[in-house]
Amino acid sequence: MKLTLGFSPCPNDTFIFDALVNKKIDAEGLEFDIVLEDVEALNQGALQSRLDITKLSFPAFFQSLDKYVLLNAGSALGKGVGPLLISKKNIEYSNKDIEHSSIAIPGVNTTANFLLSFAFPNANKKEPRIFSAIEDAVLNGQTELGVIIHENRFTYQQKGLYKVMDLGEHWEQEMKLPIPLGGIAVKRSIDKQVSLKIDRMIKKSIEYSFANYPLISDYVKLHSQAMDEEVMRQHIDLYVNNYSLSLGNEGRNAIEKLYMVFHSMKKTALVKEELFIESF
């Protein structure tokens, strides 16, 4: 059985899927056509029901519940892992300053954009860009502020940029829960037993990578865009953790809370679909 599988080329995703896609573990008869894309491209694909299995941001997942259900393994949740709002100026910004500033975001459907709206509901001068271009957009004065994710958390200071706010920290303080950034979802049309097998395979793939860590595999290096190995490890350490192996009650509670807040902010009705594969 061959299925399409999409995830990003970032070290956390390639670390998670390395053993599975490169046949370092038994895939139990499953084969995959791999699609590597930026997370916002994957979000757009999920809204169009393009892939059988996909990494996606939670706001995109919440808008795709009629098509996808969330797997237990492979998610990115945690504490201290959220996006950062950055500036070229080392000054203190008021809420009004931020609401009237142009802000580069890594995609409309990203959790980063949701967390920006959660902290600053009236910030409407948003400019979507690929995540890797946001630092330069702020540096070059194309936008006044930027919301950075992924490895840019570890590089912005080296480029002379300054943190205005940790948007994830704001969520944690308000909700007392970890931040759900993204997960792995599978089409509801796929047989549940096959979906549960995929879930097991992803967990085994993560366990394989952890067993060989801190070694960085060639697969992770290949897609890391010439990233320094230490930055790759920081990236993996931040985004791949126990929640990636299994959401657990705390992880599911955090996702359910994000789901409720997302719909409250959007003023849309909750969809009567099970979020998680175990309940589907």
What beta strand segments (E) does the chain contain? 2-7, 31-36, 53-57, 68-70, 76-78, 84-87, 103-105, 126-128, 145-148, 162-166, 179-187
**Which residue out of 100, 150, 223, 235 is catalytically annotated?**
150
pLDDT (0 to 100) of residue 271: 78
| Residue bearing tokens 């009567």 | 272
Q: What is the pLDDT of residue 167?
A: 96
Q: What superfamily in CATH does domain 2-77+180-266 come from?
A: Periplasmic binding protein-like II (3.40.190.10)
Q: What percent of the chain is predicted at pLDDT more than 90?
A: 89
Distances (CA, A) of 104 to 76, 231, 266: 22, 23, 21
Contact 42, 185 (CB under 8 A): no
Q: Which residues of the chain have pLDDT under 50?
A: none
Q: Which residues contact 91 (CB under 8 A, 6 or more apart)?
A: none
Contact (CB, 8 A) for 54 and 185: yes
For the stretch 261-267, contacts whose Cβ atoms lie closer than 8 Å and that sit 24 or more positions apart, written own/partner, are 261/118, 261/175, 262/58, 262/59, 262/62, 262/114, 263/62, 265/114, 265/117, 265/118, 265/121
pLDDT computed for residue 278 by the predictor: 83
Evaluate whether 184 touches 72 at the Cβ level (below 8 Å): no
For the question of residue 263 being annotated catalytic, the response is no
pLDDT of 41 reads 97
For residue 19, the model assigns a pLDDT of 98
**Which homologous superfamily does the CATH classification assign to the domain defined by 84-175?**
Periplasmic binding protein-like II (3.40.190.10)
Instruction: Please state the pTM of the whole predicted model.
Output: 0.95
Long-range contacts of 227-236, Cβ-Cβ distance < 8 Å, separation of 24 or more: 227/11, 227/151, 231/151, 231/154, 231/155, 232/11, 232/151, 234/151, 234/154, 235/10, 235/11, 235/12, 235/150, 235/151, 235/154, 236/11, 236/12, 236/15
- At residue 268, the pLDDT reads 78
Beta bridge partners of residue 76, listed in sequence order = 182
CATH 3.40.190.10 residue ranges of the chain are 2-77+180-266, 84-175
pLDDT digits (tens, 9 = 90+) for 87-98: 999 999 999 999
